[in-house]
Structure 1
Amino acid sequence: MNAIIEQIAACKRTSEAPYSAYLYDMEALRRHAASSIAALPPYCRLYYAVKANPEEPILRALSESVHGFEVASFGEMEKVRRAAPAAPVIFGGPGKTDAEIEGALQLGVQLFHVESRNELQRIGHIASRLGIVAPVLLRVNLRASLPDATLTMAGPRSQFGIDEHEIPDVISLAGTLPSIKLEGFHLHSLSNNLSSERHIQLVKLYCSRVMEWIRMFNLDISYLNAGGGIGVNYAELDDQFDWRAFTEGLAGEVSEVCPPGVTVIFECGRYLSAFCGYYAAEVLDVKHNHGHGFVVIRGGTHHFRLPSSWQHNHPFRILPIERWDYPFARAELTDAEITIAGELCTPKDVLARDIYVEKVRIGDIVLFELAGAYGWTISHHDFLSHPHPQHLFIHEQGSHLQVSAR
């Protein structure tokens, strides 16, 4: 955090343009990924879900520790191959084109998540034409009761995976396709789960289902992909998912029910990259409307759509900037309840609403934390054609900071 604040302050000392930037603490990212992986039991592997943040420096840094990458498009796979040419890659997504399937096979995909009977047949057809055996995991849309989470991809109706009731038929079909090798199952059912205990129970449920299919069809499989779904608490920064308790549960009660010889894969995106990222935007205006304080920033949801998409108040802090270049008084709000809005001409451009602050002035910086995942790439960048923010990657070199930009 200190390195991020130092970099912002340095920029404000020299630049007259209103500040707007994503900043990434690369050493924090490396430490968090390495410690997360070190805590896993030997039968588990941790992959990075590229959809969370596909910036090349992020991918390069994570390639030093993660066991591989999960991609949801051929474009993401190309990004991984540029950043980490030899890394294992799993290809997912509910709508894969023939060109994506062929491209992934040619680039040496480790596994496909198969989302339907039709997709299994298309992968087999393309692999046969290329003279390749395609390794696949069947993605299962479970009908079981699942833990509560922000997003669910199974249990309720959704476009993801193969209905659990159809799995026996699709397993049988896979056995008839010579260019398909069934390597296991993918059971990513929810997203942003904050409870380590509920996630332990979820993985145990996955293990029991997979064991049933192994016994029913006398399968010899290698992988159970438990997906991602491990969450980040944007409301209470000090109450995050308990990774240590989770990995202890994996080493204990989950290992007792895991199919023997099967590797369990986790595909974490948000949990790995969210903590290293910050979105900073300068205050352009402060005012009262109908008795309520409003702070308008140089930026908004076209840069950082996550708060609007998830309908939450994103955590932030105010960085005071003393520089003031105008000959008139500097407007401020003190001891006020504020809404932080962006520069777009829409009332939906809000990043935090009805939040108390002691003081905020025009020219100060609003620094949004936990912005390393689902930030820039999910945003509508060119709406109203405002300038894009900077993207700065902060590396600590002893007592010095090295900053790279894109």
Structure 2
Amino acid sequence: MTSIHEYIQQAKLDDDKAFCAFLYDMRALTRHVQHRVSSLPEKCRMFYAIKANSDTPILQALSSIVHGFEVASIGEIRKVRAISADIPILFGGPGKTDEEIHEAIEQKISLLHVESLHELRRASYIAKQKGAILPILLRVNLHSPLPEATLAMGGRPTQFGIDERNIGEAIKLAVALEGVRLEGFHLHSLSNNLDAFQHAQLVKNYCQKVKEWVEEFNLTISYLNAGGGIGVNYQQLDQQFNWELFIDQLKPVLASHQLGDIDIIFECGRYLTAGCGYYAAEVLDIKQNHGKNYVIIKGGTHHFRLPVSWQHSHPFEIIHMDQWNNPFARIELTDSEITIAGQLCTPKDVLAKDCRVARVRIGDIVLFRYTGAYGWAISHHDFLSHPHPDHFYIGTLDETAAGLKKELIAFNE
């Protein structure tokens, strides 16, 4: 397979315009996700949270590997159904409209994550109107201590889920209402956790909570959704989440809790797709201002908003491009600290700050790594009406991946 560097260099030779593109290594993606799915313990299921990257080629590649997709809007449901009429869909989010719930039922989603008592009543009412029985999970905001992570959705006041103090009332209401069927609980509490041991302990805590509720309220349920939350280390790329340690710790956790017929669902997004993506942008200018070196690239945070959103310097490398056809000198820096900025008319359009490089020249390509999740998908594409970047999906599913079709879970037998 052509390397990302070679692909960019050839693309630049083929078209002399300033280069700016997202590139996705599709074989690396499928290898990564296949390994994670195949190494899960029995009774565990992996869903892809498509909010991380809902590009059609990404969804097509993963649809034959993961057990289903997790979505957070009717638009995302439509994207999934455009590639598969029957793959299982989990529908979450704290502000679903009546229209979304109506169409979600029509689109045959597998589970609705209920975020409040009011939403529970609305879901029941709408399902009854349509003569349907809607399978649901109650999303709970726990009060238990949680591991440190970049983002927290539980363990503190947030807009997500039902306060754990009210879970008894929610369970009784869900069991009593017509139109819905309580299938279990959704306990996604954090995002971007890098500690594999602590993540297994988090699942242990989830299992204990669910067992207590099952016993206290004499429930028969099918699913414990442990959410996603497995992180990506953007600062030290060689020190990523230890998946093997997580699985080693997870197996005894599940064995000790003897959950019986309850399946454990994971709904990872960032962790599955971040590593396959690259954002490449050509250096348009190099200049000094108040003693600092600025490298201006074609593109910026309107294409790739994650660095400014998380307030970090995103990891990058320089691809040196030798061609220079201009009749004037080519500006370069050696062994220098640089700040990489985009084309926008705002000082916040910065992707990396005060980073040392051995060499960079106008016309070189800055290649940002780990951009396959929350890159293009979360960015304000049309601010200042600059052109959109190109998108390249490099490599296709190999024969093994093409032949691998996960058996779909019969959620609605």
- Relative to the length of structure 2, the TM-score reads 0.95
Q: CA deviation at 1:289?
A: 1.5
Say whether the 8 Å CA contact 1:73–1:91 is kept in structure 2: yes
> 1:308 matched to which residue of 2?
308
Say whether the 8 Å CA contact 1:294–1:338 is kept in structure 2: yes
- Given the superposition, is the C-alpha separation of residues 396 and 322 from structure 1 closer, same or farther in structure 2, using an over 3 Å criterion? farther
Q: C-alpha distance in 1, partners of 2:167/2:253?
A: 26
CA displacement 1:272-296 (0-9 Å, x = unmatched): 0001100000000011112221100
> 2:121 matched to which residue of 1?
121
The reply on whether 1:4 has 2:7 as its aligned counterpart is no
Q: C-alpha distance in 1, partners of 2:183/2:79?
A: 25
> 2:153 matched to which residue of 1?
153
Q: CA deviation at 1:224?
A: 0.2
Q: C-alpha distance in 1, partners of 2:77/2:392?
A: 23
Q: C-alpha distance in 1, partners of 2:132/2:396?
A: 45
Say whether the 8 Å CA contact 1:59–1:84 is kept in structure 2: no
Q: 1:324-343 counterparts in 2 under 5 A?
A: 324-343=324-343
Q: 1:283-362 counterparts in 2 under 5 A?
A: 283-362=283-362
The reply on whether 1:367 has 2:341 as its aligned counterpart is no
The amino acid that maps onto 2:224 is L
The reply on whether 1:240 has 2:236 as its aligned counterpart is no
> 2:401 matched to which residue of 1?
none
- Given the superposition, is the C-alpha separation of residues 24 and 158 from structure 1 closer, same or farther in structure 2, using an over 3 Å criterion? same
Deviates most, 1-10 or 243-252: 1-10
> 1:201 matched to which residue of 2?
201
Deviates most, 244-253 or 326-335: 244-253
Say whether the 8 Å CA contact 1:184–1:222 is kept in structure 2: yes
> 2:188 matched to which residue of 1?
188
Q: CA deviation at 1:369?
A: 0.4
- Relative to the length of structure 1, the TM-score reads 0.96
Q: CA deviation at 1:298?
A: 0.1
Q: CA deviation at 1:254?
A: 3.4
The amino acid that maps onto 1:12 is K
Equivalent residue pairs, number: 398
Deviates most, 89-98 or 256-265: 256-265
CA displacement 1:366-405 (0-9 Å, x = unmatched): 000000000001001111111000011111599xxxxxxx
Q: C-alpha distance in 1, partners of 2:209/2:20?
A: 48
Say whether the 8 Å CA contact 2:141–2:153 is kept in structure 1: yes
What secondary structure is seen at the aligned counterpart in 2 of 1:368? strand
The reply on whether 1:14 has 2:14 as its aligned counterpart is yes
The amino acid that maps onto 1:375 is G
> 1:139 matched to which residue of 2?
139
Say whether the 8 Å CA contact 2:21–2:391 is kept in structure 1: yes
The amino acid that maps onto 1:182 is L
Q: C-alpha distance in 2, partners of 1:258/1:114?
A: 26
Q: CA deviation at 1:258?
A: 5.0
Q: CA deviation at 1:255?
A: 2.9
Deviates most, 10-19 or 275-284: 10-19
The reply on whether 1:275 has 2:275 as its aligned counterpart is yes
Q: C-alpha distance in 2, partners of 1:352/1:284?
A: 16
> 1:62 matched to which residue of 2?
62
Q: C-alpha distance in 1, partners of 2:114/2:393?
A: 35
> 2:80 matched to which residue of 1?
80
4+ aligned runs moved over 3 Å, structure 1: none
Say whether the 8 Å CA contact 1:316–1:366 is kept in structure 2: yes
Q: CA deviation at 1:84?
A: 2.3
> 2:89 matched to which residue of 1?
89
**Structure 1: where are the runs of 5+ without partners?**
399-406
What secondary structure is seen at the aligned counterpart in 1 of 2:329? coil
How many percent of aligned residue pairs carry the same amino acid? 59
Deviates most, 243-252 or 183-192: 243-252
> 2:394 matched to which residue of 1?
394
Q: What's the C-alpha RMSD, in Å, of the aligned pairs?
A: 1.1
**Structure 2: where are the runs of 5+ without partners?**
399-413
What secondary structure is seen at the aligned counterpart in 2 of 1:175? helix
Say whether the 8 Å CA contact 2:61–2:397 is kept in structure 1: no
What secondary structure is seen at the aligned counterpart in 2 of 1:388? coil
Q: CA deviation at 1:113?
A: 0.4
Deviates most, 144-153 or 5-14: 5-14
What secondary structure is seen at the aligned counterpart in 1 of 2:199? helix
